[in-house]
Amino acid sequence: MQHGDAFRDRERALEDSFFHARNQELLAQLKAQVSAENAKEALRNICPIEDDAVLDKLVAAGIAGHSFVALSLAPLVLVAWADGKIDPEERREIMSAATSDGVDQVCLDLLEDWLSNRPDRGLQEAWVSYIGAMSDVLAPSDLKALESSVISRAERVAKATGGVMGLNRISTSESAVLKSLKAAFAS
């Protein structure tokens, strides 16, 4: 009888091991699903894209709330630095945009750094690459909505200082940066 008990004990141990491993696997899948749903909800709250399928694609591509916020604020910073300095009006416009987006402290810290220390060309290059990757993920209408949002906000920053004697609201250097931002969406 002891032999049969030992066999049943091993059988039970094997079953427990299998089901424990399977439960761990299912728990990991559930955590990943909840994490993806949270990431999707975070994106929904800060970007102009409403389509669930598109948001799912963005999450699958690793685009999280922080990266999307950086994506949306980087062009504003690039335009503000176009003439080599950040004017108080430009800073106010950028911080207003960030506040309306409900950015968290991590993004605010990054933004403050960008406003205090001119980012190198790598920021614009990274942003252009990011938009290129987005064009592979988004439907043309969603990409157009993103472009419209990003460019209109960047134009508000460009217009914040009023230009030369109030005649030309956007400087030549700011116009050049705006043109390069628009070109990123066209490629």
Residue-wise pLDDT for 149-187, tens only, equals 889 999 999 998 865 555 657 888 999 999 999 999 987
CA dihedral 65, 67, 73, 77 (to 10 degrees): 150
Residue-wise pLDDT for 94-153, tens only, equals 998 888 777 777 778 888 888 999 988 888 887 888 788 788 778 888 889 889 988 999
Per-domain residue ranges of the chain: 1-187
Per-residue pLDDT band for 34 (boundaries 50, 70, 90) equals very low
What's the pTM? 0.68
Q: Which amino acid type is present at position 114? A: W
**Rounded to the nearest 5°, which phi and psi values hold at 12?**
-65, -40
Helix 121-137 with 172-186: angle, nearest 10 deg: 30
Q: Which amino acid type is present at position 39? A: A
CB-CB neighbours of 59 under 10 Å: 19
CA nearest neighbour of 71 among 133, 161, 160: 133
The two tokens of residue 67 are 């990266």
Residue-wise pLDDT for 43-96, tens only, equals 777 665 667 777 777 777 666 666 677 677 889 999 999 999 999 999 999 998
